[in-house]
Structure 1
Amino acid sequence: MIFSTREEAGRRLAELLEAYRGAPETVIVALPRGGVPVAAAMAEVLGLPLDIFFVKKIPSPYNEEAGIGAVSETGLMQVDSQAVEMLGVNDEYLQRRAQEKLEQMHRKRELYGRPRSDYRGKTVILTDDGIATGSSMLLAAEALRREGAKRVIIAVPVAPSELLPILEKVADEVYVLHPSDNLIAVGRFYRDFHQLNDSEVLDLLARAPRL
């Protein structure tokens, strides 16, 4: 265990990002739901607006918990070609499940009352409560850059050490408080890693300044 809560992890990340305190045209973007308390704490310390960006995994047809790809709310999709080939997954399945995920993300954005933001010319500090495989974070970084973000900074509490070179290829800067050589599960690095509900997310978003 390294962090007591996601909020503590966010405050510690903010210390690494002191140079961005109050920076113009800069926004902290969380991957919901787990990234929101991390981002909210960072936004409070650094005096920056908070936003959200949705990415969802595309599950295996044989195991809903195993991802074989991911899709962003902007429609950008990436798939694990090796897994797709091994499992014999066809394009129709991928497109159908991606559309389901897009609809889920649209409904969630409506629930949170946050229309999609314009990131053109912005510096985006992208965060989550941790990185396991990296698929969601890598896709989010690419999608935000395609949305016009001038710079993309990835800042997370914990990530596998072997992913750092890959993250550095898609981001302008990468900050990881605790790179791990043996990251089995992100939750093992927190004392409190409860599953956030929508009410908690709504409360955090309501208290944070908007872009």
Structure 2
Amino acid sequence: MIFENREEAGRLLAGMLGAYRKAPDTVVVALPRGGVPIGEALSRELGLPLDIFFVKKIPSPYNEEAGIGAVTENGLMQVNEAAVRSLGVTREYIERRAKEKLEQIAQKRALYGLPPADFTGKTLILTDDGIATGSSMILGAQALREAGAKKVIIAVPVAPSELLPILRQVADEVYVYHPSDNLIAVGRFYRDFHQLDDSEVMEILARTPH
């Protein structure tokens, strides 16, 4: 265990990002839901606005927990072609589930009362409560760059050491408070790693500047 909770992790992570304190045209962007408390701490410690960006997993038809791809809220999609071939998944299935995920994202946006932001020309600090496989973070960074971001910075409390070179390929800068050589599950690094519900996310977004 490294962190008491996500708030502490975000506060410690902020110590690595002092160069961006109150930096102009800079926004903290959190991946919901687990990344939102991290984003709040970064926003508070660095004096920066907070926003969110959705990346949703496209699940296997045989196991909802196993991802065979992902889609971002601005429509960028990535598919694990090897998994698709081995499972015999059709393109129709992938497109249908991606459409469902985009509809779910629109519903969450409406629930949270936060319309999609224009990130054109902005420096973005993209964060989550940790990285396991890296697929969501990598796709999110790529999508934000395509959305017109001037600079994309990945900042997380914990990530596998072996992923750092890959993260550096998609981001301008990468900050990991605790790179791990043996990351089995992100939750192992937190004493409190409860699953956030929508009401907690809404409370954080309501009290944090955008």
TM-score when scaled to structure 2?
A: 0.99
Aligned to 2:134: 134
Say whether 1:118 aligns with 2:118.
yes
Equivalent-residue separation in structure 2 for 1:138 and 1:112 (angstroms) = 24
Aligned to 1:29: 29
After the TM superposition, which parts of structure 1 deviate over 2 Å for at least 4 consecutive aligned residues?
none
Q: Which amino acid aligns with 1:159?
A: A
Equivalent-residue separation in structure 2 for 1:60 and 1:86 (angstroms) = 11
Q: Which amino acid aligns with 2:28?
A: I
Q: CA deviation at 1:72?
A: 0.3
Say whether 1:10 aligns with 2:48.
no
Equivalence map 1:47-126=2 (5 Å): 47-126=47-126
Q: Which amino acid aligns with 1:188?
A: R
Q: CA deviation at 1:145?
A: 0.4
Q: CA deviation at 1:144?
A: 0.4
Please tell me the root mean square deviation across aligned C-alpha atoms, in Å: 0.5
How far does the alpha carbon of each residue in 1:24-49 deviate from its partner, in whole angstroms, 9 at most, with x for none? 00000000000000000010010000
TM-score when scaled to structure 1?
A: 0.99
Aligned to 1:181: 181
How far does the alpha carbon of each residue in 1:105-144 deviate from its partner, in whole angstroms, 9 at most, with x for none? 1100110000000000000000000001111001100000
What is the aligned length? Answer: 210
- Structure 1, unpaired ranges of 5+: none
Identity of aligned residues (%): 75
Q: Secondary structure at the match of 2:156?
A: strand
Equivalent-residue separation in structure 1 for 2:89 and 2:179 (angstroms) = 33
